[in-house]
């Protein structure tokens, strides 16, 4: 039932973060937490995203509002990269002529 899920408490212990911090990220819609039998779990698929947010918090002292803004901006950057890749490939056709 909990395959592919990590107990939020275990994660908090390993990362030295408060449960409330993870909960706030969940409240802000930045990550998804699952509650099974009143226990909180983090899906493995959310780990990479969550760890990035924790690094921003720990290493750069960025608060929740900052993390939220950065996450949205990084998403926009990623979308722009994707658009650039498509356009560059289209341009390549003319450059090779």
Partner 1 sequence: MAFIDYYKILGIDKNASDKDIKSAYRKLARQYHPDLNPNDTEANKKFQQINEANEVLSDPEKRQKYDKYGENWQHGEEYEKYAQQQRAQGNRQYSGFGGGQGQAFESFENFGGGDFSDFFESMFGGGARGGRQAKYRGQDYNAELQLNLRDILEPHKQTLTVNGKNIRITIPAGVENDQTIKITGHGGPGVNGGPAGDLYITFKIAPDPNFKRDGANLHATAKLDLYTAVLGGEVTIETLSGKVKIKVGAETQNGVTVKLKGKGLPVYKHEGQHGDLLVTYDIQMPKNLTEKQKDLFTELRKEGEK
Of 39 and 58, which has the nearer Cβ to partner 1?
A: 58
Of 16 and 38, which has the nearer Cβ to partner 1?
A: 16
CA 67 to chain centre: 10
Contact positions vs partner 1 (CB under 8 A): 6, 11, 13-16, 44, 47-48, 51-52, 54-56, 59-61, 70, 74, 77-78, 81, 85-86, 88-90, 92-93, 96-97
Measured distance CA(92)–CA(94) in Å, rounded: 5
Residues 6+ apart with CB under 8 A from 26: 32, 33
């Amino acid at each position: 039932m909990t395959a592919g899920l990590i107990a939020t408490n275990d994660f908090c212990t390993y990362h030295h973060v408060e449960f409330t911090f993870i909960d706030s990220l969940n409240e802000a819609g930045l990550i998804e937490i699952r509650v099974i039998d009143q226990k909180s779990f983090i899906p493995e698929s959310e780990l990479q995203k969550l760890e990035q947010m924790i690094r921003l918090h720990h290493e750069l002292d960025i608060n929740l509002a900052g993390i939220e803004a950065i996450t949205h901006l990084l998403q926009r950057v990623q979308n722009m990269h994707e658009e650039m890749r498509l356009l560059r490939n289209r341009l390549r056709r003319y450059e090779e002529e």
